[in-house]
Structure 1
Amino acid sequence: MARKTRNEARLRRHFRVRKKIFGSPERPRMNVFRSSKEIYVQVIDDFRGHTLASASSIDQELRPEMIGLTNIEQAKKVGQAIAARAQKIGIKQVVFDRGGYQYIGRVKALAEAAREGGLEF
């Protein structure tokens, strides 16, 4: 029996959670993806299958601010950016989808910064 990679295990967790989480137009899903170096977040309307807002640590607007910051500090900046962009288009409440990652470190920092920025979840 072949051993599962960490990413395969994460994807299994992600799909297990996604069976229950669904983003509506009134309360879209905020999805997080993290690689070893970067972090990405999208606000998604699953009903239409559209991304309403996004932010990442490689975003053109945020990139100059990321120089010299730790990964957790970068995640906080991305969380603040997604909160501002979501509120700009009238979104105040979201469903948080941590993407199969544990709620620690960068994922937690991003979520808390988004909450402080005004998003409710």
Structure 2
Amino acid sequence: MASPKQTTQRRAARVRRQLKAVANGRLRLSVHRSSKNIYAQIIDDSRGVTVAAASTLEGDLKSSLKTGADQAAAAAVGKLVAERAAKAGVKEVVFDRGAFIFHGRIKALADAAREGGLSF
């Protein structure tokens, strides 16, 4: 039987494989959530570089939030990454949720990024 870590890695690889099949050259908005923080970055897989990133660990965002582990924090990170993507000239991305289910904080981040101008 596979360990929980192997199961998670397999699920993340499956999601990423499906995204690469439908990406058509678009950049990838990758999201990671831990028990205390949430992170988002826009990655150009063809060049292997991060175009824009945001997380709840950043000073100005960290001081304005009650905690980095709720939907309000995820929405703030989504809005910030969308703003930084717009500055970098990115409009369309594919959403990489990794091994996380699309609800709660992940959904809040995605909705805020859409409101901020990203389309996926």
Question: Could you state the TM-score of these two structures normalised by the residue count of structure 1?
Answer: 0.88
Name the SS of the counterpart of 2:60 in structure 1.
coil
Name the SS of the counterpart of 1:40 in structure 2.
strand
Q: Which has the higher helix share?
A: 2
Q: Which moved more, 1:111-120 or 1:61-70?
A: 61-70
**Does 2:60 align with 1:76?**
no
**Does 2:60 align with 1:57?**
no
| Corresponding residue number in structure 1 for 2:12 | 14
Aligned-residue offset at 1:60: 2.4
Give 1:106's aligned amino acid.
R
Give 1:83's aligned amino acid.
A
> Structure 1: any 5+ residue segments left out of the alignment?
none
| Corresponding residue number in structure 2 for 1:36 | 35
RMSD: 1.8
Q: Sort the Cα spacing of 1:84 and 1:16 in 2 relative to 1 into closer, same or farther, 3 A.
A: same
The list of structure 1 runs, each at least 4 consecutive aligned residues, that deviate by more than 3 angstroms after superposition, is none
Aligned-residue offset at 1:70: 5.9
Percent identity between the two aligned chains? 47
| 1:46-90 alpha-carbon deviations (Å, 9 max, x no partner) | 001000000001112311111357611100000000000000111
| Corresponding residue number in structure 1 for 2:119 | 120
Aligned-residue offset at 1:102: 0.3
Name the SS of the counterpart of 1:19 in structure 2.
helix
Cα distance in 2 for partners of 1:66, 1:28 equals 28
Cα distance in 2 for partners of 1:8, 1:75 equals 26
> Structure 2: any 5+ residue segments left out of the alignment?
none
